[in-house]
Copies of this chain bind each other. A is one copy, B any other.
Amino acid sequence: MLLSEIAKIIGGELTGEDMEIEKVAEWESATERDLVFVFKSKDVAEIEDKTRARSLVIPSDGKAKKTHIKVEDPKLAMAKILKFFDFRVYPSGIHNTAVLGNNVELGENTGIGAYVVIGNNVKIGAGTKIFPGVVIGNNVEIGENCIIYPRNTIYDHVIIGNNVIIHSGCSIGVDGFGYVWDGKEHFKITHIGKVIIEDNVEIGGNTVIERATLGETRIGKGTKIGSLIMIGHNVKIGENCVIVSQSGIAGSSILGNGVIMAGQSGVSDHVKVGNNVVILAKSGVTKDVPDNTVVSGFPARPHSEEMKVQAILRKLPELWEEIRKLREKIGQTGNNK
């Protein structure tokens, strides 16, 4: 790929000699023929000095002596160009070992890998690729241009939009974790609801999503979900949320749009989290959070409050000592108890 072509794709301005690029690389290990992205203008001088790469992408306010492309956001530019250096091979056609149920509709250019099992009444949209070992239940719809990586389970009554990516090992549509104590045992609540995953959602590895009791569990458009995440029955997640790995959301909770859940955080059941809320790492939300709030700690509270508490927590030994001294002084001046 020529630098000039790359400049065109990422909407940047090329300065210096055009050349053929072999791949995008980290500056430390780049060869002469690689392209290196520098994210901060203050780093350009050092990196262009140390790397063997002869061409760079740099921020628009940066300066470089080597051949370079200037762009506003080098990270976004890198994201846009990396697709062209990704040579993964997708299943194409229907592998002869795939087991398809009755009434399976496949769109054009779908790829169904080896040992895929598909139930009855399933619709898979054009361009969607199902990797080996995926098991799909009955009454499932998968949209167009999705990628379902190996060894996913899609239970019955899961509806998936277009351009959805699901990484390996997920269990989508398991029964909700719901029981009623009947005096003798935990009586199982049968779950007959749906899971709905809207367009452009991506889901990491080994994540679990429960189907709804009745109604639906829903993941909104453009939301990105990491690995080893648990999403409870009847949860509604808004659009463009970012749910980082090992987080969990308990049954029937609702997240607005643009919510960020950092790693290993949690949301209790039946809680409403507003739009653009940020839930910091390891925190646990136990009650409703208004829009545009940053929360942390457990139980989670506004991060500014939690920070004050955390700051004093570190001074507790000092505080304790202070009290001791005050008590001593009082002993000298005040009444004894």
Give the interface of A toward B (CB within 8 A): 23-26, 28-29, 73, 75-76, 78-80, 82-83, 85-86, 88-89, 95, 97, 99, 113-115, 117, 119-120, 131-133, 135, 137-138, 149-151, 153, 155-156, 165, 167-171, 174-175, 177-180, 182, 185-192, 200, 202, 204-208, 210, 213-215, 222, 224, 226-228, 230, 232, 240, 242, 244-246, 248, 250, 263-264, 266, 268, 281-282, 284, 286, 298-299, 301, 305, 308-310, 312-317, 319-320, 322-323, 325-327, 329-330, 332-335, 337
Contacts and interface: CB of A to CB of B under 8 A. Distances in A.
Contacts of A202: 188
Nearest to A79: B189
Given A133-B153, A264-B266, A266-B282, 7 more contacts: A75-B189, A88-B138, A150-B153, A153-B169, A210-B227, A230-B246, A244-B250
Contact of A281 (B78, B227, B268): B268
A223 to B, nearest CB: 8
Nearest to A182: B76
Contact of A133 (B135, B214, B224, B332): B135
Main secondary structure of the interface of A (DSSP, over half): loop
A248 B191 CA distance: 25
A252 to B, nearest CB: 11
A281 B266 contact: yes
Contact of A246 (B88, B246, B282): B246
A329 B202 CA distance: 60
25 contacts: A79-B187, A82-B213, A88-B156, A131-B135, A135-B168, A149-B171, A151-B151, A165-B188, A171-B206, A174-B204, A174-B205, A186-B224, A186-B242, A206-B206, A206-B228, A226-B230, A230-B245, A230-B263, A245-B250, A263-B268, A264-B264, A299-B310, A309-B313, A322-B323, A325-B337
